[in-house]
Amino acid sequence: MSDIILNGPNNGIRESWSEEHLIQAIVLLEDAYSFRSIAHKLSPLNILKLYRLYWSKWIQRLLTLIVSCQLFLIFIQYPSSLSRTSDLTKQPKRSTLPCSIQLIIEYLCLIIFYIDAIIRVYLIGIQHARKKPWLISYFIVTTISMIDLIISTNLGCQKKTINIRYLLRPFYMAFISQEMKKVFNSLRKSFLQILSVTLLLAIHIYFFSVIGMILFPPAKSQDSTNDRIDEGTKYFPDFPDALINLIVLLTTANNPDVTLPAYSKNRLYIIYFAIFLTIGKILI
């Protein structure tokens, strides 16, 4: 028991707090300091001690190390990208781990992820776990990775060409990072606004691609004595090429190359490109 003195308007009032109450207060303060959710079990005492141990600095560093090891495996798995030179003509020897060692490391990582997920569910409770999409995704991604790993074990590391678990590995990096979770949550909340802007930009590019094909029709025959590049032949020969060239122009990567043939033919054509860039880069 601990005595806590509460200062009142007249005299101090002495109250006795149990160890469980003190640890509850410490846990809630640590949650607020680390921007963690307080939707978890606050009793009994052993769960609070396990909760503090789980979120301790060394346990979290260990999880970060395991996730880093899993991400690093991609550099030494087949086809490996580790070589002394990047010159493909020399056919450099690539360093790869034996298949058995790769599989053992991946099995250990996934088993630890399962244990981590079970501990999280035990600490926060089933009712709160059902309301956490990140934790549910944690189970789903780990299960899919385990199934894919079992298939790779039966087929062999090099015989199985499609490995879904390789694409899912960055999820673990986002899961253990509070900052990345906040970024994804912000993107999810602003998805509709981003989608509306993207749709408006797509309509804008589509509209100007059609106008560009009308303004700059491809030349029917190329005059060998004329060295001038035809705008329609090079940049607006068909709708897919016109669409791609205007998308690149919106990033100014091919500016002013895409405008020069039309501008050299008639300076008034610059109005088309000026309106396109003004609407696409400033107004939208």
Instruction: Give the model's pLDDT for residue 154.
Output: 85
Instruction: Give the model's pLDDT for residue 177.
Output: 83
Same domain, 23 and 64: no
Same domain, 179 and 205: no
Average pLDDT of span 31-57: 85
Instruction: Give the model's pLDDT for residue 112.
Output: 94
Same domain, 228 and 147: no
Least confident of 83-97, 131-145, 155-169: 83-97
Instruction: Give the model's pLDDT for residue 226.
Output: 47
Q: What is the pLDDT of residues 105-136, one digit of tens each?
A: 999 999 999 999 999 999 888 888 888 888 99
Q: Does any domain span residue 35?
A: yes
Same domain, 28 and 139: no
Q: Which residues contact 31 (CB under 8 A, 6 or more apart)?
A: 37, 38
Residue 14 has pLDDT above 60, yes or no: no
Q: Does any domain span residue 72?
A: yes
Q: Which domain holds residue 184?
A: 56-81+94-189
3-state percent helix, strand, coil for the chain, nearest multiple of 5:
65, 5, 30
Same domain, 227 and 264: yes
Q: What is the pLDDT of residues 216-271, one digit of tens each?
A: 887 666 554 444 556 777 888 888 888 998 988 888 877 788 888 888 888 888 89
Q: Does any domain span residue 47?
A: no
Residue 153 has pLDDT above 80, yes or no: yes
Q: What is the pLDDT of residues 185-211, one digit of tens each?
A: 888 888 888 888 889 999 999 999 999
Q: Does any domain span residue 88?
A: no
Same domain, 140 and 61: yes
Tell which of 137, 161, 189 closes a domain: 189
Same domain, 248 and 185: no
Q: How many domains does the chain have?
A: 3
Q: Does any domain span residue 50?
A: no
Residue 5 has pLDDT above 50, yes or no: no
Residue 95 has pLDDT above 80, yes or no: no
Instruction: Give the model's pLDDT for residue 119.
Output: 92
Least confident of 37-41, 131-135, 164-168: 37-41
Query: Residue 156: which region, alpha, beta or left (left: phi > 0; alpha: psi -120 to 50)?
Result: left
What average pLDDT does the chain have?
A: 81
Q: Are 85 and 94 in contact (CB under 8 A)?
A: no
Instruction: Give the model's pLDDT for residue 15.
Output: 52
